[in-house]
Amino acid sequence: MKRFAYSRPTSVSDASDDAAEDGTQIIAGGTTMVDLMKIGVLEPEALVDITGLRDLERYEVGADRMRFGALAKMSTVADDPAVIDAFPALSDSLWKAASPQLRNVATLGGNILQRTRCPYFRDTAYAQCNKRNPGSGCAALDGGETGMHAIFGGSDACVAMYPGDFAQALVAFDAEVTTRGPGGTRSIPFADLHVLPGDDPHIETVLEPGEIVTEIALPMIPAMRNSFYMKARNRESYAFAAASAAVGIEMDGDTVRDVRIALGGVAATPWRATAAEESLKGGPLTEETAREAGRIAFQDAEPLEGSAYKIELGADVVAGALMTAKSRMGGE
Partner 1 sequence: MAQTINTEVTRTDARRKVTGTATYAADETPSGMLHGALVCSAIAVGQVTAIDTSAAESEPGVVAVFTHETLPDYKTVKGFYAGGPGSSSFWPMEGTDIRYAGQPVAYVVAETAAAARRGADLVNVTYQEADGSIHMDPEDSFVVGAGEDSEGMVLTKGDLQAGLDEAAQTVDMTFTTPFQHHNPMEMFSATAEWRGDRLTVWMPSQSVRTLRHGIAGAYGLPETSVRVISPFVGGAFGSKAGITPYAMLTIAAAKGVGAPVRLIVTRPQMYTVATFRPESRQQFRLGADAQGRLTAFEHVEIAQTPQFGEIVNPGTHITRAMYACPNIHTEQRLARSDTNSGGFMRAPNEMQTFFGLESAMDELAWKLGMDPVELRRVNDTMTHPTEDVPFSSRSLMESYDAVSNSFGWDQRGREIGSMTDGDWLVGYGCATATYPTNILASNARVRAQGTGNAYVELAAHDVGTGTYTIMAQIAAARLGLPVEAVDVVMGEADLPVAPISGGSTTAASAGSAVHDACVKIAQQLATQISGMSEGPLSGVDPSRITLDDGTLRGPDGQSQSVMEALQMIPEGEIEVVGTFRHPALTDQLIKATFSGGYGTAGPVTPEFAMFAFGAEMVEVRIHKYTHEIRVPRIHSAFAAGTWLNRKTAHSQLMGGMIWGISSALHEVTETDKPRSRFLNANIAEYLVPVNADIREVRVEMLEEQDDYVNPLGVKGIGEIGIVGTAAAIGNAIYHATGKRLTALPMTISDVLST
Query: Alpha helices of the chain — where are they, by DSSP H?
Result: 12-19, 33-38, 74-79, 81-86, 88-95, 100-105, 108-112, 166-172, 190-193, 222-225, 274-280, 287-297, 309-330
Buried b (16+ CB within 10 A) or exposed e, 31-51: bbbeebbeeebbebeebbbbe
Q: How far is CA 24 from CA 117, 179, 197, 209, 220, in A?
A: 22, 17, 22, 9, 36
For residues 107 and 113, the answer to whether their CB atoms sit within 8 Å is no
| β-bridge mates for residue 181, sequence order | 184
Neighbours of 22 (CB within 10 A): 7
Task: Find the shortest distance in angstroms from Cβ 170 to partner 1.
Answer: 22
Interface with partner 1 includes 5 (CB under 8 A)? Answer: no
Q: Which of 23, 62, 134, 147 binds partner 1 (CB under 8 A)?
A: 147
> Minimum CB separation from partner 1 for residue 4, in Å?
11
- 158 touches partner 1 by CB under 8 A: no
> x/- site string to partner 1, residues 34 to 63, per CB under 8 A?
-----xx-----------------------
Which window, 10-18, 49-57, 218-226, 310-318, contacts partner 1 (CB under 8 A)?
Answer: 310-318
- Closest distance of CB 218 from partner 1, Å: 26
Instruction: Please give the radius of gyration of the chain, using alpha carbons only, rounded to the nearest integer.
Output: 20
Minimum CB distance to partner 1, residue 244 (Å): 9
319 touches partner 1 by CB under 8 A: yes
Q: Which of residues 225-254 bind partner 1 (CB under 8 A)?
A: 230-239, 242
- Answer for which of 119, 137, 198, 283 binds partner 1 (CB under 8 A) is 119
CB 217 within 8 A of CB 68: yes
- Considering only the stretches 56-64, 175-183, 276-284, 311-319, report the one whose residues sit in contact with partner 1 under the rule CB under 8 A: 311-319
User: Applying CB under 8 A, which residues contact partner 1?
Assistant: 1-3, 39-40, 99, 117, 119-120, 123, 125-127, 139, 142-145, 147, 230-239, 242, 306, 308-309, 312-313, 316-317, 319-321, 323
